[in-house]
Structure 1
Amino acid sequence: MFSALRLRSAALALGVCFILPADARTSQPGNMASEQARHIATLFPGRMTGTPAEMLSADYVQQQFEQMGYQSDIRKFKTRYRYTTKDKQQNWQNVIGSTVIAAHEGTLVQQIIIMAHLDTYAPRSDADVDNNLGGLTLQGMDDNAAALGVMLELAQALKAEPTQYSVRFVATSGEEEGQLGAESFLARMSEKERKNTLLVINMNNLIVGDKLYFNSGKNTPASVRKLTRDRALAIARSHGILAMSTPTNAAKNQHCCSDADVFDKAQIPVLSVEATNWSLGNKDGAQQRAKSKMFPNGTSYHNARLDNQQYIDQALPGRIERRSRDVMRIMLPLVKELAKAGKK
């Protein structure tokens, strides 16, 4: 395993170069991302795994990839999760999830995976229902339409770019029920595919949190952290964008869980991109911002009343467009560097 990680480090190191000038066609980074996020949140609220809204959103994302010229497919997977009633009875909910995959083929066998989950939270108990968590009206702008928008804009920007390493775009489902879609995707990967995966970039909760954070997986080698997490922070600084990594003393208590954890446990290098606020004194990074009248718990997680574009526009004017722009200004040059864009 150590030798495989060293090979990944070496491969990524060979791919890093200086930041390239922004392409004229992307002079307004983030515009497409924010427009796509608003469209997905508006047309497909309640994207709970296995529901018609989830299936329709997967179809929509696939159609977007195909319109860009990508080969794209939807993988179905069967899974289940527990639902707890008020009298503490637990029942299994059987669902069929949809994961969308599109590939930008490089000239070499190694690949970088960019992920964002498309599902919204499904109530796991009667208590969730009583507290308005999840359900058919949850737009999930922060969790996780905005990340889907960024992924689609990255795909559009990279479509005409020749790269040495392949870039695979994956919109997972089942994340809110315990990373079920990511586990299914990983289980279908051959041992050769796993070894050839240099990095998994997972984007989640990009809007409501005060600051952008770029964190490496616990099992990501220091050499890869330097080329990925540290490089992302350097690009952010060059643009005057506030971005950080998890404080060292809190690294063992990272907010759990996301699709990135599935790949981290499999010893595949990971870079997580999210917005939160570790400086508030919380030990797990789960509090996104200071508590306020607009965000009484300092979060918007799974709350249908808070995690929608109308509420976010009112509480945080301009945030959706501004944060989409900032993430794109960091992620696009980073992915181009790592994938060796422009090299044959």
Structure 2
Amino acid sequence: MKKLLVYALLAIWVFAGLGTQGVQAKGAQQYGEISFDHVSYLATEIGDRVAGTTGEELARDYIYQTFEQLGYQPEVQPFSFSGPNKNKIHSANVTAVKPGRSKHEIIIGAHYDTVNRVEGVDDNGSGVGVMLEVAEKIQNIDTPYTIRFIAFGAEETGLRGSNYYVSQMTKPEINHTKAMINLDSLAVGDMRYVHGNAGKKGWVRELALDISNELDIDLHVNPGLNPHYPKGTTGDWSDHAAFKEAGIPFTYFESTNWEIGAQDGYTQTREHGSIWHNPLKDNMAFIQSEFPGRMKEHLQSYSRILTELVQRVQPNSKGQYMPWLSKQ
């Protein structure tokens, strides 16, 4: 019954809210508003999206249909893995490609599954919302490179979707992927962060910081208070990890607080500690009540930065990509 009801709601949403005129109207919205609408739908209309469940399947279909209504040609990449009881769990990634002037790619990814009994507003409806907003904002922009959007399934069960995606990449595809941008838990943390590789491979992080300064957005890096995570870097606990392992430069946006708790980014707020994975906290009612205005501000900030960032990289004569601080 729940599945039929949500499919009916999806049909109403597609034909009444996201027909051609609906997409155009949404494209005129202020930064963050599109993201907020997507987060609200995922959290309150679908609810928890545990890997292999109807909830995850409904979220997958919602993301697919959103890309489709925006004019993309999305694809589903199914995969399976063994559950804790040796049962087979089926999940999938959803991909959509924005062609650019070059076939070299930048990947923007966010996982859409949740843990059990959690609406997943922060973790990770927020990341999916920003990804879909950026897909809408840039759909008619002539970008210098191709942008591949990926909604990953089954992140919460061991980064399954991103690991599977990278495992299926050929060497030429890896070589043509110039960066992976990961969006995870953006809504609630005390501060907004951007992480990246150590050394020269951290150039996307530095570009994001330059853009945030221009836009007067307060974007931080991990200050390196915990010696296990040097300044500007982060741990391998989200969907960027497989790409990093493959040698692809990564950037990871998140909202948390690296200055409290164990100084490892897991304690997100001074007032209420961690929000993610908590069924009493990672829901729309709690977040809107306890952090009024924060989620919309965060979604707006990340959407603005990322929409600008994907236009700020230009290829040189060797097909390599270098950051530029102004668009051509």
Q: Give the TM-score range, shorter chain.
A: 0.7 to 0.9
Structure 2 residue matching 1:114: 3-state secondary structure: strand
Structure 2 residue matching 1:71: 3-state secondary structure: coil
Between the aligned partners of 1:267 and 1:251, the Cα distance in structure 2 is 23
TM-score w.r.t. length of structure 1: 0.79
Which residue pairs with 1:225 in the alignment? Answer: 202
Amino acid aligned to 1:326: S
Larger RCO (alpha carbons 8 Å, 6+ apart): 1
Amino acid aligned to 1:278: W
Between the aligned partners of 2:205 and 2:253, the Cα distance in structure 1 is 9
Distance 1:213 1:261, change over 3 A: same
Distance 1:338 1:162, change over 3 A: same
Amino acid aligned to 1:302: H
- CA drift of 1:164 comes to 2.6
Amino acid aligned to 2:59: S
Whether the 8 Å CA contact 1:172–1:181 is kept in 2: the answer is: yes
- 1:167 to 2:121 alignment: no
TM-score w.r.t. length of structure 2: 0.83
Which residue pairs with 1:313 in the alignment? Answer: 288
Between the aligned partners of 2:95 and 2:274, the Cα distance in structure 1 is 30
- 1:177 to 2:168 alignment: no
Whether the 8 Å CA contact 1:255–1:286 is kept in 2: the answer is: no
Which residue pairs with 1:126 in the alignment? Answer: none
Between the aligned partners of 1:164 and 1:302, the Cα distance in structure 2 is 38
Which residue pairs with 1:76 in the alignment? Answer: 78
Which residue pairs with 1:99 in the alignment? Answer: 93
Whether the 8 Å CA contact 1:166–1:339 is kept in 2: the answer is: no
Distance 1:178 1:217, change over 3 A: farther
Deviations 1:292-327 (A, max 9, x none): 3xx2xx101211111011110001011221111111
1:264 equivalent among 244, 262, 267:
244
- CA drift of 1:256 comes to 4.6
Which residue pairs with 1:247 in the alignment? Answer: 223
Amino acid aligned to 2:288: D
Amino acid aligned to 2:103: V
Amino acid aligned to 1:43: E
Percent identity over the alignment is: 32
- CA drift of 1:193 comes to 0.3
Whether the 8 Å CA contact 1:217–1:272 is kept in 2: the answer is: no
Between the aligned partners of 2:245 and 2:226, the Cα distance in structure 1 is 19
Between the aligned partners of 1:26 and 1:339, the Cα distance in structure 2 is 27
Structure 2 residue matching 1:138: 3-state secondary structure: coil
Between the aligned partners of 2:254 and 2:156, the Cα distance in structure 1 is 16
Between the aligned partners of 2:274 and 2:314, the Cα distance in structure 1 is 34
Between the aligned partners of 1:339 and 1:200, the Cα distance in structure 2 is 16
Structure 2 residue matching 1:237: 3-state secondary structure: helix
Whether the 8 Å CA contact 1:255–1:285 is kept in 2: the answer is: no
Amino acid aligned to 1:98: A
Which residue pairs with 1:286 in the alignment? Answer: 266
Deviations 1:36-58 (A, max 9, x none): 11111112212011111101110
Deviations 1:200-255 (A, max 9, x none): 0000010121111111035xx41x423x1112112222233221111235363444
Unaligned runs of 5+ in 2: 1-26, 316-323
Unaligned runs of 5+ in 1: 1-24, 83-90, 122-134
Q: How does 1:193-212 map to 2 (within 5 A)?
A: 193-212=173-192
- 1:138 to 2:113 alignment: no
- CA drift of 1:92 comes to 3.0
Structure 2 residue matching 1:120: 3-state secondary structure: coil
Amino acid aligned to 2:149: F
1:45 equivalent among 33, 44, 47:
47
Amino acid aligned to 1:196: H
Between the aligned partners of 1:93 and 1:247, the Cα distance in structure 2 is 42
Whether the 8 Å CA contact 2:59–2:112 is kept in 1: the answer is: yes
**Aligned-pair Cα RMSD in Å:** 2.1
Structure 2 residue matching 1:248: 3-state secondary structure: coil
Amino acid aligned to 2:57: M
